[in-house]
Every structure is written in structure tokens, then in C-alpha cells.
Structure 1
Amino acid sequence: MHSLKQRFSNAVKCIFIDPPYYFIDTKPADTFAYNSNFKLSSWLVFMKNRLEIAREFLKENGIIFITISDDGAHYLKVLADDIFGRENFIADVIWQSRKSISSDGLLSISSTHVLTYAKDKTAINKAHFKLALDIEGFDLEDELGKYKIEPFDAPNVRENLEYKITNPNNGDVYTPPKGRHWRTTEKEYLSLLERNRIQFGSKGLTKPQLKVYLEDAIEAGKGKAASTLWSDVTPDTILWTSTDTTTNATKHQQAMFGDVVFENPKPENLIQRAIELSTDENDIVLDYHLGSGTTCAVAHKMGRRWIGIEQMDYIEDITKARLLKVLEGEQGGISKSVDWQGGGSFVYFELKKYNQDFLNQIMAANSKGELDEVYADMAKNAFLKFWFDKNEFEKDENFRSLDLDQRKELLISILDENQLFLNHADMRDSRYHVSEEEMNLTDLFYGAKND
């Protein structure tokens, strides 16, 4: 993430992450390739370090969505309040992530939290939080197009909105019903009448009604405001039951890869909802716990630009492969609802490994002999801890008595973890064997030459 800050600071409109969850009870196996058995303090530090950087990526009107289970939700809420500010908290969205009943606990857990924060709540586009217009209500039509009928009166009494309206068809005179007022001033009413936006019943013989044309409503950006309980097909609340469950997301995963790669993948239309609430076309969406690539797949299908970051090795075989399928027109998830036909492109980068290469070699060694070869290379070429004394280390008989795993642990401890990847400033040093193509691409990415 730090390597991208220079270019993308204050540039991202939406961050959606599904990070490693904190679990009170030790899990017998990780829910995915990250360690899911964090101690609470370690997990909070892990989250804090990344959320602080994430905030720097957000535009002033940007929004972050963080999925989390019950065990960690309230700890994370306090942490996120500190990082983003309590005044920028938008909602704790409740998503019904499971419909089957589990007897594992006293209550069957069927929901997941989606903590939602703005970088600056006063700067966000409130129109995004209007849900899509329900066009099914516009079932009448005349020469001006599709329309629906709404009452021309509204609750409460306002003197400036009380006046007499005469039905031009029969001369009947109307005033607002008791305790109500007309929806517009008299001047605005006359304008609406002239533009055929008022009718007096289907036969023209009753009280005034407002004609709302679909085209006008679309232009005005009208829609139903999202509230705190999302439960129907055109969701208007924050219980996201209309989004798919993890079961459907797992089926989608199986269709693409023939196997279950992640235990609890997030469905595409859950992320679609978040992106709709926070972005417009061509805005940038970021996911720095990319996993199987769902966030970027959805962003791509929706015409957004995107950045995905993943540290695990499966990115080549799973994440990248999935996104290539999206380019080819893959039809799972939201594809049909957005009429996705394929297309577009993306650039795939890996950080140039330095000490990380030695770390990988240590972990892969199957014998003490192999480990000795790795150490010999490390002693010449790796960036080691400042306190490491090569001569003393090689004379230490205790090292010789250690078993393979203990030796690995010791060799890892002498690697400088701040040098796992090659610094941009060092890439022209011949010791690091950086190709001309890699240097040119890196300079192009950062927009500057490192002389």
C-alpha cells in the first residue's frame, strides 16, 4: 500500500475490504489463507496499520466499507471511530450472509456487519444514497411518456401553500384537505398545469393530482432514500437480505474454478450495492484484501476503475485468472443485471522481491544442506539485521545442534523485514539485477525518472 500512496493518495472514491476476521474462539482451520487465529491486540494492530494508510487513499468524499463478524465488530468500530472520526461514521450495515440455520451456538448467526465510514461525511454525495428509481410504478402513458399519479396535497399546514384550485373541466373549486397543504405554491401549480403535469382524476372530474413523468424523475435523480433495514428486492434499508448469500457466491466460485477456493466469499451484488452508494462511472475502487478478486470484478463490470492488492501467492492462479475471465465476458454474479459483455484491460504488477526471496527459500528448504546453501547466499547478498555478526554466527555451535525448523526460525530472524522488497531508489544498483524493462515500467508508473 505504501508503494501506491505517491500516485493514488486522495484519489480513491470507494474502498471495500473483507479483511481477516477476529474470532474469540480458536478456529480449527483458517477460514482462508490468512491467519484467522489472531490475538485481539495483534489483530487490532494489524487492522489499525492498514486502515490508517487506507484513509490517505480516500478522496474527501470517499467512503470505506469493512465487513466483519460479531466477534470483532465492536472492537473494530471503536478503532475505526478513532481513525476516521466518530462524526464520519455512516452506518453499521447488517447483511444477511447466511440463510441456513446452524446449531453451533445458542443462536444461529446469519448476519455480517459492514462498517461504513466517510473520510469527510459533509462532503459525500447524498444523491448516491438514493436507491435506484422503481420504474414499475410508472404504468400510465400519454403523448409525453410514462408517468404515475401522486397526491397533490401533503401533510401539515403551511399558509403560503393554501389557495383555491378550480377544476377547468367542471368549475369545481378545491382547497387542501384538513391538516394538509398543496405541494407547491400557486405560481408553481399554474406552471405544472400548463405543462400537463396536473390531472383531475382519470375522467377529469375530481380533485387535482400530480403527474410524475419517468423522464423527469430520472433527470432529477429521484429515488428512495436508504434507511436502516434492507429487506426487499429493491432494497431500501440496511439489512441487506436482497443481496446474495455466501452460498450463492460459493457456487459462482465453483463455476469459475471447479472448486471452493475461499470458505466465505462475498457475493458480487453485495459489493455492487456498496459501489452504487459511493461512486460514479470511472471513479476508483480499492480493495487491499483482494482475495478471489470479487471487488475488482464487480468494479470492472460497473465501469469503475479499480486497484486490487493481495499478498498471498494465490493471486496468480485465482485472482488474476478470475479477472481475465471478466475481460472475456464471464456471466456469473451481476453480469446479466448490468448486461456485461466483456472488454477492458488491467495491468498486473508484483513488487520486486529482495529479502522476500530469501524468506521464500528458507521456508521451501527440505534439508539442512539446502538451508546452508540459502544462508551462504544470504551472507553475501541479503540485507541483514544491523546487529548480526557473521563471524560470531558461523562459529556458534548451538546453531549446528538445531533441528531444521529451529534453523529456519533463526535465519528468518536475521533478515531485515523492512527490506523484503526492493526500494525504488535502489533499482539501478547492478547488485539487484533489475532488467531495463522493469526499470522503464517502474519509472512510467511513478511518472518520474530515478537518475
Structure 2
Amino acid sequence: MLEDTIILIGGGYETSSISDDDNLVIKGNNLIALHSLKKRYAGKVKLIFLDPPYNTGADSFEYNDQFSRSAWLTFIKNRVEVAMELLSDDGVLLMQISFHEYPYLRTLVDTILSEDGHDRHIFDMNVLVRHPERALTADKPFNDVMEYTLIYSKNYNYEMPKQIIEKTIDKYIYTVDTKSEPDEIRELGGKEVEIYLPKNVKIQKVEADKSNLHRETVRGSIREKNSSGRYYVANIEPLIDEYPPLTLFKVPGIGDDKLGFRYFELPKKGLKNGAYYQGMPQSSKVTKKPYPNFMDFVKEYNAANKEGIYSFRNGKKPEAIIKKYIDIFTDEEDLVLDFFMGSATTQAVAMKMRRHFIGIEQMDYINTIAVPRLQKVIEGEQGGISKDVNWQGGGSFVYAELMEKNQGYLKDIQRSGSIQEMMEVYNRMKENADIDFRLDLEKFEGELNNFNSLGDRRKELIRILDKNQLYYNYGNIDDENVRDLISDNDYKFSKSFYNS
């Protein structure tokens, strides 16, 4: 069963246990590994970031990047469904993809994550990854410069975080001086408003100071979504033909600054939009603004291959974009998961930002690129976001592998460079592999010699392997024939991982 996969330590320092504070890197099939994580990590992951195979038809980094669309969507569906079980109630799932499969992926995930009319889709982040004027090749039908990040929440009632922007005095550069008593006092919108004609008002631009005023033009969304904007539209704007341009209205009891009033101003002659003057708000030192659904990361993508010490051409995200997502959706000590680990960009950034992480990768470059990169991060490498976050090194991670059974034979078949090498693998398979029980071995061997090409024999040997036995099941860990294959240290680690 998928839920019972054994995990074994491999590489790094030896350890026989794991705690919830440990970072974890797993080598093996990510679907099986995800099921193995459920018992320990269900409901604990704050952010899942995925950079899956784009299914472009051009395998640039050893993934199967040439699925049929239906096979690719099934591949994604199986993994997303179990991944959602790992998310915390306030967790989010992000998937970055190119135009090739974007609409199909969006439709698929919208469908499988919707229930009773509730939608978990938050929004899509449009990411500029290549300069629009710089084409990679001239023979393309168009210049593909965008990627898309689909963002989904675990909870239907999830509220998207907002940008926290510290308020500054930069915009507070106006002073308003009324030279006389008001020319008129009039009730407008239930407020007793002082009205000053332009000749009796002096408005100056001065050096920025927290005691000054900021001028805001009443236009666009401010007209409907801002209380001062709405007041202007309802009560001041209808008076444009009644008073001269730039007439000033002092309205009490509005705004959250210390003044207790705001000045409203009719537009200049020939212009449409009026304005209001406000003091610096006192209720908070920060402003909350929604994130835009567009980000420009062209510069960072151009430099991405230089990050992380090791080259991983066309398959590496810049650290800066992962930092952006981690900044938006997580806090320090939160758990981040990426099960298309690749060159370990997500894990490197998580470590530098003091988040816990889990990474899963099946390809062998996990040991030549991903793990060495994380070791360099621990040593304090200064690439990527290191200087931005004042990274000085430190941290650790536990490396583990799924214990291979038929998966080992499958890899040996795929690596065989000659029929002789492949037949040597087959002879070992007959002794120890789990072969499809329906197979008539004697008949199969008679037919195998009829396949003269290396490719045809490879397909036949892969076909007869039992795909349900790619890895050893945890439920069999105490069986004598399995226990003899496992070191005492690995046995203790598996027991610790599954808390048994």
C-alpha cells in the first residue's frame, strides 16, 4: 500500500530518529512519498510550491516531459489530491506552469478542489520571466514570456494576505492656510461644513513632514471604495457649478488623523477631478494593500542559473520568486513542501528564511545537485537571496530514501546500454524481483528472443515488473526476508518516522 512505504537514511550523517523540527529530503517516487508523509504531516504544511513538468514536449531536465495531455493531467491529479491532505487549514497550494497546460491545469484543479459550489481558487499570479523584446529563437510562432502561478487555499474561507507597507512622510508635503473666517457655513451630508473661496486660501508645497497634509485626487476606485471619495462624490461634486474652481470645504468628523477634519477641493477650471487633503493617519503605522496579480521577474530569471552553485539549465526558478511566495503566505518556523524538488531552490530559500521544509525528488541529480546545494547553504553561501535576508549559514536536514524493490530493477533496465547488460538484469529479476503473477515465464523467455532491438526488449522487461511492488512496504519491515536487508540504524529510523 502507498501509505506503508519504508523510508531509509542514505547519505549524510547517520541518524536513527526524526523530529518535527527536522528538515527532510526524500529520494523516491513523489506520489508514494506523499502517501508516506500523511501519517506524520497531515494538516501541518503551510505552503506547497510545485514546479511540475511543463509537458512542453521538450524534456530539458530528465523528467518525463512528453506525456499525453490526459496522462499528464492524471499524473497531476493524483498528486494534488494527496498533497491537499498535508496542508494546514490556513495553508495554500501554488503551482507554476507555462501556457502549454495552464488552462487545462486550472480547469482540472478547480474541479477537483471545488465542493458544493465552494471554490478554493484564490487567484493566478502572472509572472513575466523573459523580456518581451528578446526572442529565444526566431522560428517560434510567438514570443513566450509569461508563466502562471495558480494559487489555491485549503480552507474555503481563506483570506488572501495583504502587503504590509510602512507609512512614510514622503507624500505629506502640503500646508493649507485659510486667511479669514469661512465665507459660508453649510450643512452637507449631515455635517456642518466651512466653505472658503479660493482668494482666501493659501496652499503650499513644503518639505515632507508628519505634520503636513497629503493631497489625494478623487478618481477611479477612490470614488466608490474610499469614505472620503464617496463623501466628495455625494456632497461636494454636485456643487461644481455653484462655486468657483478650487473652492475649499472643511468637513469635520471625517478621517483617522489627528486633525478631526479634512479639506475637500473643487477641480481646477477645465479639469474633472477634485481632491481632498488629509493628515497622516494615526490608527496604524502601516498600510495594507492587496497584492497585484502580476510580477516582473525577468532580471532574476536571467541570473537564475548562476544561483545555487550548480547549473540546472531551464529547470531552475530564481530564489527571489520563491522568497516572494514564502513572504506572502508563511511565517518563520512554518513548514514548506516541494515534491518536484529539482535543484532545491525552494528548500534553499526556506532554509535561508528560517522555515522548515520537505523536499522530494526521484531523479539521481538529487545527490549531485540538490543535496550539495543545501550543504552549501548550510555553509553560508552568499548567492540568490542570501544578502537580502542576511544569511550567515547554519541549519541541517535529514536525507532519506524510499527502499527500492522493483524500482531498482526498473532503473537498471532503463540504464542498460546493450542487450547483454539487459539480460544480466533480467537474470537477477528472476531470482528476486516481483514479476507479474499472470506471466508464463517459460513462454515469455521463448518470445523474448524475437525482440532484436534494445528498445523493444526494454519495453518487455519493464512490462513484466509488478508496478505495485516498486518499493518495500512498511508493513513488511519485520518480515525476516526484509529485516535482513535493513541496517539497525535504518530500521530504527523507519520506526521513528512512523511513530511505531
Q: What is the TM-score normalised by the length of structure 2? A: 0.70
Moved over 6 A (4+): 197-200
Contact conserved, 1:10 with 1:59, CA < 8 A, in 2? yes
Contact conserved, 1:66 with 1:114, CA < 8 A, in 2? yes
Cα distance in 2 between the residues matched to 1:182 and 1:56: 48
1:334 to 385, 401, 409: 385
- The residue aligned with 1:33 is 62
AA of the residue aligned to 1:421: Y
1:183 to 237, 241, 255: 255
Cα distance in 2 between the residues matched to 1:326 and 1:139: 43
- The residue aligned with 1:292 is 343
* Aligned residue runs from structure 1 range 199-238, under 5 A: 210-212=279-281, 216-217=284-285, 222-226=287-291, 237-238=292-293
Cα distance in 1 between the residues matched to 2:383 and 2:169: 25
Percentage of pairs with the same residue: 35
Secondary structure of 1:331 counterpart: coil
1:250 deviation in Å? 1.6
* Residue 424, structure 1, aligned to residue 474, structure 2: yes
Secondary structure of 1:87 counterpart: coil
Q: Deviations over 1:161-220 (max 9, x none)?
A: xxxxxxxxxxxxx9744xx96114xxxx7xx57xxx9999xxxxxx9953457x9525xx
1:61 deviation in Å? 1.3
- The residue aligned with 2:498 is 446
Secondary structure of 1:353 counterpart: coil
Q: Deviations over 1:320-364 (max 9, x none)?
A: 111111111111111111111111111111111111111122233
AA of the residue aligned to 2:37: L
- The residue aligned with 1:373 is 424
Query: For the structure 1 residues 244 and 68, does the alpha-carbon distance in structure 2 shift closer, same or farther, using more than 3 Å as the test?
Result: same
The root-mean-square deviation of aligned C-alpha atoms, in Å, is 3.1
Q: Deviations over 1:296-324 (max 9, x none)?
A: 11111111111111111100110111111
Q: Deviations over 1:390-448 (max 9, x none)?
A: 3443xx42222323433222221111111111111112223231111111011111211
* Residue 309, structure 1, aligned to residue 341, structure 2: no
2:119 to 65, 68, 87: 87
AA of the residue aligned to 1:239: F
Cα distance in 2 between the residues matched to 1:239 and 1:208: 31
Q: Deviations over 1:20-53 (max 9, x none)?
A: 1133xx43xx122112222111111111111111
Cα distance in 1 between the residues matched to 2:318 and 2:211: 34
Cα distance in 2 between the residues matched to 1:139 and 1:154: 17
- The residue aligned with 1:117 is 152
Query: For the structure 1 residues 183 and 199, does the alpha-carbon distance in structure 2 shift closer, same or farther, using more than 3 Å as the test?
Result: closer
AA of the residue aligned to 2:109: A
Cα distance in 1 between the residues matched to 2:144 and 2:336: 30
* Aligned residue runs from structure 1 range 112-261, under 5 A: 112-124=147-159, 126=160, 128-133=161-166, 137=170, 154-157=228-231, 176-177=250-251, 182-184=254-256, 192=258, 210-212=279-281, 216-217=284-285, 222-226=287-291, 237-241=292-296, 244-253=299-308, 256-257=309-310, 260-261=311-312
* Residue 363, structure 1, aligned to residue 428, structure 2: no
Cα distance in 2 between the residues matched to 1:245 and 1:148: 40
Contact conserved, 1:288 with 1:308, CA < 8 A, in 2? yes
Query: For the structure 1 residues 176 and 84, does the alpha-carbon distance in structure 2 shift closer, same or farther, using more than 3 Å as the test?
Result: farther
- The residue aligned with 1:164 is none
Structure having the higher Rg = 2
Q: Deviations over 1:74-96 (max 9, x none)?
A: 11110010122262211111111
1:108 deviation in Å? 1.8
Secondary structure of 1:343 counterpart: coil
1:368 deviation in Å? 3.9
Question: How many residues align structurally?
Answer: 387
* Residue 76, structure 1, aligned to residue 105, structure 2: yes
Query: For the structure 1 residues 366 and 147, does the alpha-carbon distance in structure 2 shift closer, same or farther, using more than 3 Å as the test?
Result: same
* Residue 402, structure 1, aligned to residue 402, structure 2: no
Query: 5+ unaligned residues in a row in structure 2: which ranges?
Result: 1-33, 174-208, 216-226, 233-247, 264-275
* Residue 97, structure 1, aligned to residue 129, structure 2: yes
- The residue aligned with 2:142 is 107
Contact conserved, 1:353 with 1:422, CA < 8 A, in 2? yes
Query: 5+ unaligned residues in a row in structure 1: which ranges?
Result: 141-145, 159-173, 201-206, 227-236
1:265 deviation in Å? 1.7
Query: For the structure 1 residues 132 and 155, does the alpha-carbon distance in structure 2 shift closer, same or farther, using more than 3 Å as the test?
Result: closer
Secondary structure of 1:348 counterpart: strand
Query: For the structure 1 residues 105 and 208, does the alpha-carbon distance in structure 2 shift closer, same or farther, using more than 3 Å as the test?
Result: closer
Secondary structure of 1:439 counterpart: helix
Query: For the structure 1 residues 135 and 252, does the alpha-carbon distance in structure 2 shift closer, same or farther, using more than 3 Å as the test?
Result: farther
Query: For the structure 1 residues 262 and 438, does the alpha-carbon distance in structure 2 shift closer, same or farther, using more than 3 Å as the test?
Result: same
1:241 deviation in Å? 1.0
Query: For the structure 1 residues 17 and 208, does the alpha-carbon distance in structure 2 shift closer, same or farther, using more than 3 Å as the test?
Result: closer
More strand by share: 2
Contact conserved, 1:288 with 1:310, CA < 8 A, in 2? yes
Secondary structure of 2:62 counterpart: coil
1:18 to 51, 69, 83: 51
